Chains A and B, each alone.
Chain A
């Protein structure tokens, strides 16, 4: 091996070790540039719209914003959205728990296919989801015609909105619970059974405490999406003012009627809820990381 290839180095006093760069780091300039791209891009794409919502809502001051939320249409929209959420989220929580229990506590053929089916609503356009519900229950179908005739319409009524909301939020709880329950295995439940506990008791005293944070996490994401769903609800609700107009639908109505403060005030209300969701979500990730599915821990 020739030593001529050795780069010449100046002899340097042993005490003054220079600041070396680790082999697994980028240069400070590259680092700075990447951080600038990331924060700058996010500020422009996410931060600016966020600020715009509140700025537009408060364009004519707090009074106007609050007053716009007190209007009859706004109040009925808020009540309807709360109602829909209060029905759809528990339905999905029950479904999520049942599906996760079925999938993780039993061995059966076609499990992978079942999981794909549960995930399916995530890959379908909300508008197509709404369309499917209209085609099934709308007045044009045999089933829908009969429902309307018997005085229980689904489409253009609250049940349709609930159904659409459940559809678009379908996988949220299940997909948070399944990885956690797979990780935890079945041994604890089996131990409880051998000690004489009944099925319900096992679930309440053994399973539920283990999955409660993941359940809360999934429910949180489900709630945020349920309150904000637009495309599917726009299709099935018929947008009847005071009856089937949820908060997002009412935002669109106000916006199209050039009631900018009213539209953005309601948007600010939903944004406030979204921020609260993020806050709780981050808190869960920080404090209960080991109780959440692995991809949620960062």
Chain B
């Protein structure tokens, strides 16, 4: 799905989190929002997911205005930094949650839910953990379960907030490839937030560098490396 961000601004009280920013994300792209903390990248992601609402500006999905859609209507697969798994539910119930939450008329039957959850467990290469609770999983396993849970609702896009932030270096490397594979397999437009420039450059098709609530540069990783648009980008990439 093509995502158009049109002059989106966000204020929290007197502080400005986002100055009007515009961005066009082609269908099927894997995009990194890259920047230091406080750059507004997470706010932008949350606005796309419907968790925050912009002070002004519009969000368009496939050229249709989606600004006023509630978080439930957006159907954005959102992966939280802390994963936010439901601790009192098994891995299976976590992944099935979005399907079970649908109104009865559009809810798949039990066999269909079973089939989809098991398929997703295969996709994240953890077919044997369905009966476990989140507290019994490693950090990397939790991240993949959170991803599977987001994919279960057949999302129109995938939004990931610092998906590798809570993991150690080795696991991080493995899961980067995992995310790339899942993106390529599902073809979903995917946007992830990161403060790690290696991660952004290695993984994304398109990198959006942000600072202080503004977009500093948009480009392919190679272009940004070769021709940083501003002093900020040069320093941030060089670091």
Contacts and interface: CB of A to CB of B under 8 A. Distances in A.
Whether both chains belong to one complex is answered with yes
A18 B58 contact: no
Interface residues of B, number: 26
B62 A12 contact: no
Contacts of A22: 51
Given A1-B156, A7-B73, A14-B7, A20 B53 contact: yes
A1 B154 contact: yes
B53 A9 contact: no
Contact of B57 (A3, A8, A14, A23): A14
Interface in A17-60: 17-18, 20-23
B130 interface: no
Given A1-B154, A9-B65, A17 B56 contact: yes
Interface in B1-38: 1, 6-7
Given A17-B53, A20-B53, A9 B67 contact: yes
Given A9-B65, A9-B68, A3 B1 contact: yes
Given A3-B1, A23-B50, A15 B56 contact: yes
B66 interface: yes
Contacts of B188: 1
Given A6-B61, A17-B55, A12 B67 contact: yes
B68 A12 contact: yes
Interface string B41-77: 0000000001101111110011011111111010100
A122 to B, nearest CB: 28
Nearest to B6: A14
Interface of B (DSSP majority class): loop
Range for the number of chain A residues in contact with chain B = 10 to 19
Given A1-B154, A23-B71, A12 B65 contact: yes
B69 A9 contact: yes
Nearest to A18: B68
Contact of B66 (A1, A9, A21, A23): A9
Given A1-B1, A1-B156, A14-B7, A8 B55 contact: no
Nearest to B61: A6
A15 B7 CA distance: 10
A81 B144 CA distance: 65
Most buried by B among A1, A15, A20, A22: A1
Contacts of A20: 53, 68, 70
Interface string B68-107: 1111010100000000000000000000000000000000
A17 B64 CA distance: 16
A3 B62 contact: yes
A17 B73 contact: no
Contacts of A14: 6-7, 56-58
A195 interface: no
Nearest to A3: B62
Contacts of B50: 23
B217 to A, nearest CB: 24
A11 interface: yes
A8 B56 contact: no
Contacts of B56: 14-15, 17
Nearest to A16: B56
A7 B67 CA distance: 11
Contacts of A5: 75
Nearest to A7: B73
A9 B6 contact: no
B1 to A, nearest CB: 6
A21 B70 CA distance: 8
Contacts of B154: 1
Nearest to B186: A1
A11 B65 contact: yes
A249 B5 CA distance: 74
A166 to B, nearest CB: 41
A10 B55 CA distance: 18
Interface in A174-191: none
Contacts of A15: 56
Contacts of A12: 58, 65, 67-68
B69 A7 contact: yes
17 contacts: A1-B1, A1-B154, A6-B66, A7-B73, A9-B69, A12-B58, A14-B6, A14-B56, A15-B56, A17-B57, A20-B68, A20-B70, A22-B51, A23-B50, A23-B51, A23-B70, A23-B71
- 10 closest pairs, A vs B, by CB? A20-B53, A23-B71, A9-B65, A3-B62, A1-B156, A11-B65, A14-B58, A14-B57, A6-B64, A15-B56
